[in-house]
Amino acid sequence: SQTIHQWPATLVQPVGSPLSLECTVEGTSNPNLYWYRQAAGRGLQLLFYSVGIGQISSEVPQNLSASRPQDRQFILSSKKLLLSDSGFYLCAWSVRGGPRTQYFGPGTRLLVL
Amino acid sequence: GENVEQHPSTLSVQEGDSAVIKCTYSDSASNYFPWYKQELGKGPQLIIDIRSNVGEKKDQRIAVTLNKTAKHFSLHITETQPEDSAVYFCAASISSYGKLTFGQGTILTVHP
């Protein structure tokens, strides 16, 4: 069966510090991968999606970037965090070329102080 | 782009009652509509989905209906239980890459 992992689970970072969040998927090959941000009490905002290694599409201009160095690894990064980057970050995957169901990871809660 | 509106934003029911959450979408090309349940501090979990070639789908106490003409779809939960308390999100998709546009969520509280 497929599983999706995210780490860390919680992160507290000062403004201006760098960020690296990691997501890995097991039990599937060539997945589509997604990064979402969820502000408190709000819906999910798609940040990036990827259909293959090195292929990243950005949905909204922001202080963040994404990379996919391996087929089942998706990384969210920032060089300098802003207060507004605080939120709950969710990674998700779906079957490439298959049903569009997305499966979410457990999320990373980021607090920028 | 696609826009999804969800209401109500909060819903409070007594155990055993039914709960209905409604969503409207803007792009008539949307053809896939999932519903997710999110418990506090966790990632959303898919509970049911429907495709545009189907008008209704049911899974035990949960059902989803779709009206393509009116561009709205609804989640129905019957015989609600306290463990149904969570945030529910609807979404719509027209993309072959599986991009989803989410509604703003409904906080459902089921009182024992």
Tokens at B62, concatenated: 């949960």
**Chain B hits for A42, Cβ within 8 Å:** 104-105
Q: Using an 8 Å Cβ cutoff, are B74 and B58 in contact?
A: no
B49, B89, B96 member nearest A43 (Cβ): B89
Give whole-number Cα distances, A101 to A15, A41, A69, A89, B34, in Å: 35, 23, 23, 19, 7
The average confidence (pLDDT) of chain B is 93
Q: Test B102 with A44 for CB contact under 8 angstroms.
A: yes
pLDDT at A90: 96
pLDDT at B99: 81
pLDDT over threshold 70, residue B12: yes
B6, B46, B99 member nearest A49 (Cβ): B99
**Chain A hits for B95, Cβ within 8 Å:** 100
Angle (CA) A21-B33-A57 rounded to 5° is: 35
User: How sure is the predictor about A2, in pLDDT bands with cuts at 50, 70 and 90?
Assistant: confident
A46, A100, A106 member nearest B43 (Cβ): A106
- A vs B: CB pairs below 8 A: 54
Looking at residue B93, the DSSP 8-state letter turns out to be: B
Query: A51: how many CB neighbours lie within 10 A of its CB?
Result: 18
Tens of pLDDT, residue by residue over A59-102, are 877 789 999 999 999 999 999 999 999 999 999 999 887 777 89
CA–CA min distance B43, chain A (Å): 5
> What is the average per-residue pLDDT within B47-69?
92
pLDDT at A60: 79
Least Cα distance to B106 among B41, B15, B20 occurs for B20
pLDDT at B109: 97
Mutate which of B4, B54, B102 to test chain A, going by most A C-beta atoms within 10 A? B102
Q: Which residues contact A106 (CB under 8 A, 6 or more apart)?
A: A5, A6, A9, B42, B43
pLDDT over threshold 90, residue B85: yes
pLDDT at A72: 95
Tens of pLDDT, residue by residue over A5-40, are 999 999 999 999 999 999 999 998 899 999 999 987
